Structure 1
């Protein structure tokens, strides 16, 4: 039996590699003769660039840049062996887990540090950038990044890092004459920039925006960005950072999971597999819109794979699982654990449930 273990990370708990290792450990115990291959995945969200580092032989670069709150922040990006392409995870600079706090408005946070990294990479000779957008704390429409890259923002006070709170003050986005980098943004959502499914309306509440702030941000993003940019799927990713890439930077937005699956060259493996075990922290309606599970199962069908599909998750929405077309979706946590206990026991819970799945499959 050929078993593929291809999970996403479990946010706040385990990286995709650690999730894959825990599942594989349980599977080996339950199906000792099976051929098991682990392929950790990312979809543009956290750990996406890390999942590409080894396959692409990327070299890490340590830097200090402005974090989302304006303080100096140690961060890491990657560059290709020839130095021509850089790879950056937005969450490394403006990560949700690092900056979102109860009672604090996310409007004061800025993507300036992302622009600092891109500018530094340009000066070092890089011509291309791959930017994974998921997991950000910001809702500034990317104006902080643009500011660091040399865009003029008329109306913004001098010596001030642009944040979402400044959107209403800015009159225009004026490009520098020397911008020449090709940027690809990997998105893990298909939300447009504005409207009821836009960056502010959908993700603003998670980032501390009030109802009034959400309304203002949505209006100002509509004013600053052309409709053709704002309507693009994924332009609302990372609080509108997707729109800044697709519009001012002249870049392109791409499904993060599709990009990762292509880089990892998994089509033949998916077609040959008998069992596909995947997973993510929370399987819900959003899982059907560009996340790992959605992209992975779509690719399995595209290559005409015959594998049975199982998702192991912290929380499972049965409607979401049905919409994805999974054969089986299991919540791994026993009902008597608190959230803190569940997070601490994620590896053990994954291993135990994977053991049960493997035993059932092994005795079919």
Structure 2
């Protein structure tokens, strides 16, 4: 049996078999077990060889035969598989409705699928084809339900964290945000409509938002970096979700490319959320409201400045009811007396 034959039969990479024979690396425990089974050796034979001994070959009556799931051989296996397929096509049938032997069969299938490359698909770089198999299986089973699709999703879910770690930063952020959104939706099912009456606490928990000179809206993280905002939405249970459309960038990079950043007042965000309810808020609405708020603040400051300007004394103001109002009597008394004006038409 060649190295390639052993690798195929053991569901490991040819490199693993080569490294084992050359002594370059020592395989993981799971891979050692597969190789021993492929060669028909008893468990622990590879360690025995490493220590200078000889492998223990299994005969027809060995342990490998006693572990057989189908004592009746191929005919028994076909009968169980066909019967299970027929049962699972009946509406409302679940794994719990199947007999013990059939359930044990599917448990073993799950174990074998896990052992034969699905487990370690991401963490073991020697098996990139395993991850490709998971992805292909998921694509084929999207929207389907049953034993096979559920099995594929279960195995894939076990490696979700490893898959997410391979994504770039923007896509990883999207997955994380989506996961938390789904968790919020799950917890809020049956909880009734959300209340938008008191948003102060929720709004204050939202990171600072800013608007650059070109009208884009940005979110600031705790390190002072900024990411462009796609949308903001009030989720169920009062959770405010900020969707991003870029990775976080240093503030200097943002200002040099898009202009100065003006911080959005939390009051502006609160009013926008109150008006939007459960609808998403677009960046244009945030930018427009922030600009309007900034203009209003400038007008208020100008009005306050004008109102605080000291007023000079009011002079030459005549009150119809009191002609002497606003006139200092001392100035009036010191004024020289004048002759009466001659009238063109004196009154007789």
Is this a same-fold pair by TM over 0.5?
no
* Greater relative CO, 1 or 2 (CA 8 Å, sep 6+): 1
Instruction: Give the greater-gyration-radius structure (CA).
Output: 2
TM range (shorter): under 0.3
Q: TM-score, normalised by structure 1?
A: 0.20
Which structure is higher in helix share? 2
Q: TM-score, normalised by structure 2?
A: 0.21
Which structure is higher in strand share? 1
